[in-house]
Structure 1
């Protein structure tokens, strides 16, 4: 393991990975490999998480193919030094920003989107000119195998390499000195990664999660809100870091909204053949333990053998309930009531900053108030989760929900050092900066710097 890390560092120091021509070839090669292996990838995602072909393609395979297209198109422009303004007192000087590759990157992926959340940061790392070690989730075993096949069989291990294994392998990897660590997963493991990285002063990106709230006010289109909230919540059987974790509904529309939620569930989620499964028995049992049978609007279908939990809505929920004590990360949706928006915002300010927040409202004042007064990673008004699909937007958390942001150009920037420099002409020199320093020079410099 350590030998491969060192060989990747050696390759990086050789400068081979830095040219535009090399980077673009690797991105094009990766894209073609994903196209070639797409059926195997989709099959692996079905075996690991019971993802339908539509869901697996749209959220994993097609998602990263679109990201590759975007990056390939933009890379030359991103790599080009950017000229910026220069203040007048730096006479005969031009100022520039350029992006330097960091070196050798470690990417640690999760089980919930086991292909996308490896490949998406990998695209940025390649685009920025780095070498990369990749550690997929051992829980998504079939996807882990296809990642090994796709990367290790087609790229030099000194450039890109996928390493298999459990948490002990991850721990050993974290003992090595990388130039950047990118981790997606739980806050608990993120703290471990951050602590280990600190020993080498290695910068980290942590894409975590938390309890992302959704607010439905009295002006919302309730049918649209129900459709879009349930879509965002139950995609991948709720195993999505930016899924709506719970809903606050204005008390004047609460009962009507619950009836509509129930109707949508019966219409959209009657066929469990297209519904995802929980990744393993431990998480299945954890989720079953969060369901209060006295608060269900309808009894869910549960199958221990297949780890199926059908869409489950809980009402009359309070912050004392077990389901509100942790990120749910499954197909359970608690609904709470509120009476006053300002009081609700004050309450939400006392909670950890979430990865996402969603507001369903047709009142522009409410939209402005919520988005100006609450801090969260990213979000949407009258929609859920779709902000993540826009490559022109940064995606990332804040506080306990994460550190750093990526996607599109922001991925390229994340895996680069933003370097500023100036270029000064030699035909002119400003004598004021040199000693001896007179009262006249001091008076002049005070006029300049004010």
Structure 2
């Protein structure tokens, strides 16, 4: 057993309890840290003197947003234009050169981007690379100054491993199983329409789609007919004939998603057609936690419903799993919404709707933990592709003002040195 496993588990349990969330707690801990610096000041000075032998005003200090250099942007197949060009806009705005790799799975978009985009952009600074798995692996062997990847967690690990060889920073936009808790106190008709839209849009091939519903058994009985009504409203009595319902992108993905229909029992939908890669909008009930449909991101038009006894059970269910890219809650009670928000962790959060939070460019979009690393959208795309370079501009004169920092050090110089470096709040402390 790892000797630190118990320690990490203990700290994680404390974090999950919500102990660190209140502002008062954070302030108290910061003040305690300030007391440490104040009360142990002499000990710290003596220890640093033994270890290292060491102890700005009127200057111009600022942060300059510098481009990283040559960046690599790897796009996914499910939204092959948007999820390739939105990060590219940020890279260009920040002043970078870029290698752009569209997904080989969306073949037509890949060909379009490769053949036409270079005609619009400066070929000296921007290039499109078409590559399968093997070629992409070779591409990642090169040193880039930043890598932006959108895709699955498994491939994200490969990208991050390759980046680590060059100490290259990354943004990983991944995915995960996005929970959707539906409380007993809500408008069932509205919930069904918004959940059905978010789940079945693009045949469920959306990284922020609600992946499964958590609700009481009573709510499930109300929700099923409302979901059936919403699906019919959106796609007609036979969704296979609807021009508004998409298909699974490829045969491999079709076979994977279709196999997930064996989990639980089909309450709505379930029809498939191999030739056209059609899977009907489907709702599953009687789903168990260890069923295959609950072990991976679905990325298809299947919505499992898991029944829970209470909101606390739903929160515990969510927290027992990897942190998702998005988390949804439906309730007419603000207390319920706030409690789910405060007691869980996710890349993004949306109450009483699905997907819409990621359409606001004023909000950063990204995951946490296994669902991703980093943020973008709007100005956050510019920030992602910019290095915040700290800069200090000093004049060559006024050398007398620098005397306190030069050796030999004397007790009479300490007050001036402290005045130049201290950080004040309620108490005074200095970190040298």
Rg larger in structure: 2
Which secondary structure state, in structure 2, belongs to the residue aligned with residue 406 of structure 1? coil
2:411 equivalent to 1:439: yes
* Cα pair 1:292 1:314 within 8 Å, conserved: no
Q: CA 1:294–1:348 in structure 2 vs 1: closer, same or farther (change >3 Å)?
A: closer
Tell me how far apart the structure 2 counterparts of residues 217 and 147 of structure 1 sit (CA, whole Å).
44
Shift of 1:434: 2.5
Tell me how far apart the structure 2 counterparts of residues 446 and 250 of structure 1 sit (CA, whole Å).
60
* Cα pair 2:269 2:283 within 8 Å, conserved: no
Choose the corresponding residue for 1:323, options 288, 293, 303: 293
Tell me how far apart the structure 1 counterparts of residues 392 and 112 of structure 2 sit (CA, whole Å).
46
Matching residue of 2:200? 234
Residues 291-440 of structure 1 correspond to what in structure 2 (within 5 A)? 291-292=261-262, 295-425=265-395, 428=398, 429-440=401-412
Shift of 1:420: 1.7
Residues 70-219 of structure 1 correspond to what in structure 2 (within 5 A)? 90-219=56-185
* Cα pair 1:151 1:160 within 8 Å, conserved: no
User: 1:204-249: per-residue Cα shift (whole Å, max 9, x none)?
Assistant: 1111001010011111221111111111111111000111000101
Shift of 1:344: 2.0
Between 1:250-259 and 1:162-171, the stretch displaced more is 250-259
Tell me how far apart the structure 2 counterparts of residues 147 and 164 of structure 1 sit (CA, whole Å).
9
Unmatched 5+ stretches in structure 1? 1-89
Shift of 1:292: 2.7
Residues 41-60 of structure 1 correspond to what in structure 2 (within 5 A)? none
Matching residue of 1:44? none
TM-score by length of 2: 0.80
User: 1:105-155: per-residue Cα shift (whole Å, max 9, x none)?
Assistant: 111111100111111110001101111111111110111111112212333
2:257 equivalent to 1:287: yes
Shift of 1:378: 0.6
Tell me how far apart the structure 1 counterparts of residues 311 and 269 of structure 2 sit (CA, whole Å).
31
Tell me how far apart the structure 2 counterparts of residues 444 and 129 of structure 1 sit (CA, whole Å).
42
* Cα pair 2:264 2:287 within 8 Å, conserved: no
* Cα pair 1:269 1:311 within 8 Å, conserved: no
User: 1:324-365: per-residue Cα shift (whole Å, max 9, x none)?
Assistant: 111100000001111221232122111001101011112111
Tell me how far apart the structure 1 counterparts of residues 216 and 417 of structure 2 sit (CA, whole Å).
60
Tell me how far apart the structure 1 counterparts of residues 358 and 298 of structure 2 sit (CA, whole Å).
20
Shift of 1:318: 1.7
* Cα pair 1:281 1:307 within 8 Å, conserved: yes
* Cα pair 1:262 1:297 within 8 Å, conserved: no
* Cα pair 1:229 1:244 within 8 Å, conserved: yes
* Cα pair 1:345 1:370 within 8 Å, conserved: yes
Q: What RMSD, in angstroms, separates the aligned Cα atoms of the two structures? A: 1.6
